[in-house]
Amino acid sequence: MTFCILLMTVGLALMLASEPLGHHAAGLFKIVASTGFIALGVAAGGLHSAYGLVMLAALGFSWWGDFFLISRNRNIFLMGMAAFFLAHLAYCAAFLVQGVAPAGAVIGGALALPVSLGVARYLKPHLGDMRVPVLAYMAVITLMVALAAGTVADLRSLELLAAALLFYASDFFVARDRFVRPGFVNRLVGLPLYYAAQAWFAWTIASTQ
């Protein structure tokens, strides 16, 4: 597991450092870092439980999302969004495998929804013809956070909710970079949040064995 975390950390650091060389160079190290969280999921025992297998599927869809988002092409960006949409559905399925307390999910959703509506209002003037896919994506990530809160209520653990919230926060910076105000600061803040979230999700596999 130590090697997997090191792979992610080094890949992330090189990705950020290689920004001046262009997005293709940074993208190469991005794939290295993303391969690290899949390896961490396997090392944590992902092949030996239903929860682990579904979580590995979510991490796998995320890997493809990272791959597609290297490109600046609009259609490939949509493929990346679709991959992450499937990843969030897989995270939701993993939480359901663990067991979700309905009351916790409702409370989590009630708290997350106003934030999502505020973000949607912030992004809406900048989305153009991307409005529908972006809003659909926001709906599924909000559901993911709500179910993570329900899982926490059931398991008395904050790990899944913490990872879900980190992922949620990281996606705000992805959207800001793509649609509102592009800039390195979005990646400088968003990427560490994203990889911390994925590493934490992968790590939870070991704690549920």
State the Cα–Cα distance between residues 160 and 147, nearest whole angstrom. 10
Percent of the chain at pLDDT > 90 equals 77
Residue 196 has pLDDT above 80, yes or no: yes
The CA-to-CA distance between both ends of the chain, in Å, stands at: 15
Question: Taking a C-beta distance cutoff of 8 angstroms, is the pair 103, 155 a contact?
Answer: no
User: Where do runs of H (alpha helix) occur along the chain?
Assistant: 2-17, 23-43, 50-68, 74-98, 102-127, 131-155, 159-175, 184-207
pLDDT tier for residue 209 given thresholds of 50, 70 and 90? low
Between 121 and 74, name the one with better pLDDT: 121
Q: What is the pLDDT of residues 43-59, one digit of tens each?
A: 999 999 999 999 999 99
CA-CA-CA-CA torsion sign (66, 48, 165, 191): negative
pLDDT tier for residue 154 given thresholds of 50, 70 and 90? confident
